[in-house]
Structure 1
Amino acid sequence: MSLHASLVATAAEARAFHALPARLRHLGWSVPLRWEEARMFDPGFFHFLADHHVARFLAWRDGNPVGRIAACVPHDATAPASFGFLCTEQDPAVVAALLGAARDFIRAQGRAEMTGPLSFTINHEVGAQIGFHDRPPMLRMPGTPGWLPAMLDAAGLLPVQDVLACTLDVPAERHSARFAALALKRPADMARLRLRVMDRRDFAGEVRRIAALYNDAWGANWGAVPLRPAEVESLGKLLRPLLWSGEVVFADWDRTPVGLVAVVPNLAAAMPANGRLLPFGWLRLVGVLAGRVASARVPMLGITQAFRGHPASALAMGALLREAIGLAARRGWQRLEISWILEGNAAMRNAMARLPAPVSGRWRLWRGTVV
């Protein structure tokens, strides 16, 4: 049997690339929406591609696609090169062929290392699952087979970081009552703290403000990659439908933005098994976008770096959490996943323990040389 990996060069090969997760779903791979994933490789839609070299590869055995991978190299030499969009049969030879294709591409762009799985950067889908394979699927938190980490280890990649998900049982939460008592003790500070929801009438401007706060609040984290203006515009288009029932809340201190929280319904709960919206997949998704789902995700919860040492920073964080929990309760969302969180982020992990929101998922990233 012949096995080789080659660049996706035709429309038919691109369709095969995006169809593969549904074909291999029985192995434990999550299935993205095909049309949405395809737009991530469309320069006319996803302007992120304007300043990144990106290539897709398929592994073929006897004329049939058996694996896929994408490689991404930023034009900015200080930003890491990555591999991602990984999906493969349970075969170390296929994994090796795919990683070899990604390495060759990244090396040709003058880089010496690659990190992944990242689709495309740490701002997007992150990692391979480590345990917790019985967890319910969550929006843009990838499901991967239990055998994948060992294969990545065996391929010579070295683990560099774990990221976590923590899930709050909304009916059992204790934070709201504790925060109400704290707020009563600090009326002067509460008068200086203002929360406001995203103004949908100025959607483009608000998306830019979200990006600015995100770049600040997450900028010192491990692996941080700033959202660039071209990428922000595209991500705004992806965010808009999630805000039909979701919300973004900003925290201002003395009229200066200091933090935000985003809450979005768990679209993954209604994802079509074949990744297709037609003919009937869209019906369930419309219901989820309208809020008719049992769970939601908090993909952003952060405070700007300059405000973190401020006496009122904990007050702002507590207020944002209360707003997220309140929205979930009003929508009837029983579970609220806060993800992802760097394993070494002690402050955030302590905050999750107090909610309580125990660890409910873990994903790992690897790094390897390409020379």
Structure 2
Amino acid sequence: MSLRTGPVLTAAEARAFHALPGRLRGLGWSVPLRWEEARMFDPGFFGFLGDHAVARFLAWREGEVVGRIAACVPQDAAAPASFGFLCAERDPAVVEALLAAARGFIAAAGRAEMTGPLSFTINHEVGAQIGFHDRPPMLRMPGTPDWLPAMLEAAGLAPVQDVVACTLDVPAERHAARFDQLALKRPADMARLRLRAMDRRDYAAEVARIADLYNDAWGANWGAVALRPAEVASLGKLLRPLLFAGEVVFAEWDRQPVGLVAVVPNLAAAMPADGRLLPFGWVRLAAALAGRVGSARVPMLGITQAFRGHPASALAMGALLREAIGLAGRRGWNSLEISWILEGNAAMRNAMARLPAPVSGRWRIWRGTTL
């Protein structure tokens, strides 16, 4: 049977690209919202595309779409070229053909390597699952089949990094009580520490502050890519619905920014099976956005680099975690996933162990040549 790949050029091909995860869900692929994913490829909405060359590819066999992939090349030569949005039938020939299409696009742009799966960068969806395939789905933490890693490596890619998720059982947590005891012993320090919730009345400026803190706190991490202003504005639009029940909390020390935590309801379990909002997919999703779910995700928890090793660091981290746990308790969210965390981030892994929040998921990133 003939297999061919080609770029997405028409509206019909774009619809096929975004419909494929719903068709192949039974193989272990998570299913994003089609309209939201499509906006990630819309230059009129997603400012990220202004300084990144992006192409989508489909694989066909006998006229039927059997796989998809996207390739991304940033104008910034220091930022990695990537592949992502991968979804395919269980066939190594399909996966290899898709990777070859991405390699060709990236090589034509003058890049010798590609990293992935990243959709599009490490700031977005990351990696392919390594074990933990029975974990409940979590918002924007991709579900992928257990056979995918072997196929990626057979196609010439080598592992370069793992990230993990850690999940806290909220009713059984012990952190809040321990932190309250610590706070009583350090009244002078607690007087210098201030927590405040995001001011929704000043939404655009607050989103910019979040981006500045993110770029600082995560800027020295492996694979870090700074959020740019045009991308930030677009992500702010995507974040807004999640804050109906979720929250972003800033920590300040003597009025200087120290860190932040974000907590959002887990929409993944409420996602429509085919990724469509209409006709009825919006009903469950609306309830999830209102917080009527059993779990939540912490996608951001970090301390600025200037305060690493400072007495304020541990205190601010403890206070931010307490706030996240408190919000989860008030909303009735029984589990809180902190994700993702670089496997080698010893300080964060130790903090998770103390909660305790054991590792509940793992994703791997690969790199390969394009020549």
Q: Taking structure 2 as the reference length, what is the TM-score of the superposition?
A: 1.00
Letter in 2 for 1:202: D
User: How far has the Cα of 1:309 moved from its partner?
Assistant: 1.6
User: How far has the Cα of 1:311 moved from its partner?
Assistant: 1.4
Letter in 2 for 1:93: A
Corresponding residue number in structure 1 for 2:173:
173
**Structure 1 residue 183 and structure 2 residue 183: aligned?**
yes
Letter in 2 for 1:328: A
**Structure 1 residue 28 and structure 2 residue 41: aligned?**
no
**Structure 1 residue 124 and structure 2 residue 127: aligned?**
no
Tell me, in whole angstroms, the C-alpha distance in 1 between the residues paired with 2:290 and 2:23: 29
Corresponding residue number in structure 2 for 1:8:
8
1:63-106 deviations in whole A, cap 9, x for unaligned? 11000000000011110000000000000000110000000000
Corresponding residue number in structure 2 for 1:362:
362
User: How far has the Cα of 1:140 moved from its partner?
Assistant: 0.1
Equivalent residue runs for 1:1-371 within 5 Å: 1-371=1-371
User: How far has the Cα of 1:4 moved from its partner?
Assistant: 1.0
Q: Percent same amino acid at aligned positions?
A: 86
Tell me, in whole angstroms, the C-alpha distance in 1 between the residues paired with 2:307 and 2:153: 39
Tell me, in whole angstroms, the C-alpha distance in 2 between the residues paired with 1:314 and 1:365: 30
SS at match of 1:312: helix
Letter in 2 for 1:177: A
* Residues matched between the structures, number: 371
Letter in 1 for 2:306: A
Letter in 2 for 1:362: R
Tell me, in whole angstroms, the C-alpha distance in 2 between the residues paired with 1:363 and 1:159: 11
Tell me, in whole angstroms, the C-alpha distance in 1 between the residues paired with 2:52 and 2:171: 44
Tell me, in whole angstroms, the C-alpha distance in 2 between the residues paired with 1:15 and 1:212: 35
1:316-340 deviations in whole A, cap 9, x for unaligned? 0000000000000000000000000
Tell me, in whole angstroms, the C-alpha distance in 1 between the residues paired with 2:328 and 2:269: 16
Tell me, in whole angstroms, the C-alpha distance in 1 between the residues paired with 2:272 and 2:14: 20
Letter in 1 for 2:75: H
Letter in 1 for 2:154: A
Tell me, in whole angstroms, the C-alpha distance in 2 between the residues paired with 1:87 and 1:19: 10
